[in-house]
């Protein structure tokens, strides 16, 4: 039987690009339907045993089982190009009955298994995440309590809380439902901190609370202090900036003179060309050549407009150097 392996682990969300996901959503699995352990045999029969799911914690809401699960399997396609196909992986994922229920989370057509978007519509998962955030909040209130157990007091503990949440994610604890953070090399979204603390993310939302602290302010302070990094709204650990590196793009030779234009090799560098010049005797011209800014982001290769500008600048540079000889 030809099986389409669905890798639902959020760490491998990119893999979903390789699977066909139907947009017709029949319904949420009925509340109080079969438990996940009763649904798994049929799920594995259709999908195969790669990956496998292990329940670490079940949360029942209105009879509907939502579970924090460990997912383990082998990498099918390594889109990072690191050739890890066939290597084992493990991750953690929030699942519910919907994921494993036929015609809600998946369906078969002939020999092919398709993923369905039913689980995305499941309100019980949202409820489970909300309850988990309340639970973590209670733990923090106990840990960081002031005389009144005031929740706004927690906002002063945002740095400690962020590092504690990172520790929890590393330990495989349930912190958020969702996919994005891990595939961006991060731990969780800023929104999750807000949900756990029960407070606003941005100033504009804070007018009712008259609260001087906002999550964003605190997060930005941590970024400025080089304690953490941010990718969009995803919290990452601070990484030392890479040393600058350049890749040569254009070389012009003119009467023995050589001009070279290079692009920044990674995204943490200033978005500008590096221009270098050598005399006919092979000695580098030791003058400060100010960077020519790139108009377009060079991530996907330089734009023709940028190349035309740098070529003109390079020729001008050579002409002027020749005149000075
Ligand atoms: Zn569900």
How far apart are the CA of 302 and the centre of ligand 1, in A?
A: 46
User: Which class for 155: exposed (0-12), middle (13-18), buried (19 or more C-beta within 10 A)?
Assistant: buried
Residue with tokens 């000889």: 325
Alpha carbons 92 and 173: distance in angstroms, whole number:
8
Tokens of 289: 């050549």
Q: H/E element holding 295? A: none
Q: In the prediction, which pLDDT does 204 show?
A: 53
How far apart are the CA of 279 and the centre of ligand 1, in A?
A: 70
Domain boundaries, the chain: 10-121, 126-237, 246-324
Whether 274 contacts 314, CB under 8 Å: no
Report the chain (325 residues): mean pLDDT per 10 consecutive residues.
32 38 55 88 94 95 93 78 78 93 93 88 92 94 77 81 94 83 77 86 51 72 90 81 77 88 76 85 73 70 81 88 81
How far apart are the CA of 100 and the centre of ligand 1, in A?
A: 9
pTM over 0.75: no
Q: In the prediction, which pLDDT does 150 show?
A: 66
Q: How many helices (H) and strands (E) does the chain have?
A: 8, 12
Q: In the prediction, which pLDDT does 151 show?
A: 61
How far apart are the CA of 118 and the centre of ligand 1, in A?
A: 8
* Nearest alpha-carbon partner for 129 in 57, 70, 182, 71: 57
CA dihedral 214, 133, 130, 235 (to 10 degrees): 60
């Amino acid at each position: 039987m030809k099986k389409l392996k669905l890798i639902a682990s959020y760490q491998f969300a990119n893999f979903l690009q390789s699977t066909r996901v139907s947009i017709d959503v029949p319904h949420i699995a009925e509340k109080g339907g079969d438990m996940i352990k009763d649904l798994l045999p049929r799920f594995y029969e259709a999908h195969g045993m790669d990956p496998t799911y292990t329940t670490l914690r079940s949360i029942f809401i209105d009879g509907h089982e939502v579970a924090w699960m460990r997912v383990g399997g082998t990498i099918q396609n390594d889109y990072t190009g690191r050739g890890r196909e066939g290597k084992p992986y493990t991750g953690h994922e929030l699942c519910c009955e919907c994921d494993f229920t036929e015609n809600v989370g998946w369906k078969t057509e002939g020999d092919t298994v398709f993923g369905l978007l039913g689980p995305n519509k499941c309100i019980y998962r949202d409820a489970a995440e909300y309850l988990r955030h309340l639970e973590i909040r209670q733990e923090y209130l106990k840990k960081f309590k002031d005389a009144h157990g005031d929740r706004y007091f927690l906002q002063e503990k945002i740095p400690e809380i962020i590092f504690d949440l990172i520790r929890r994610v590393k330990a495989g604890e349930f912190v958020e439902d969702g996919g994005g953070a891990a595939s961006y090399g991060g731990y969780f979204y800023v929104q999750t901190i807000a949900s756990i603390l029960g407070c606003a993310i941005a100033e504009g939302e804070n007018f009712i609370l008259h609260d001087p602290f906002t999550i964003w302010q605190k997060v930005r302070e941590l970024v400025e202090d080089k304690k953490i990094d941010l990718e969009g709204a995803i919290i990452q650990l601070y990484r030392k900036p890479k040393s600058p590196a350049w890749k040569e793009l254009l070389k012009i030779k003119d009467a023995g003179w050589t001009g070279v234009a290079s692009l920044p090799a990674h995204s943490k560098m200033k978005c500008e060309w590096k221009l270098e010049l050598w005399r006919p005797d092979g000695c580098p011209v030791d003058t400060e050549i100010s960077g020519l800014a790139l108009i377009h982001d060079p991530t996907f290769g330089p734009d023709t407009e940028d190349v035309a500008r740098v070529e003109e600048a390079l020729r001008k540079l050579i002409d002027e150097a020749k005149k000075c000889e």
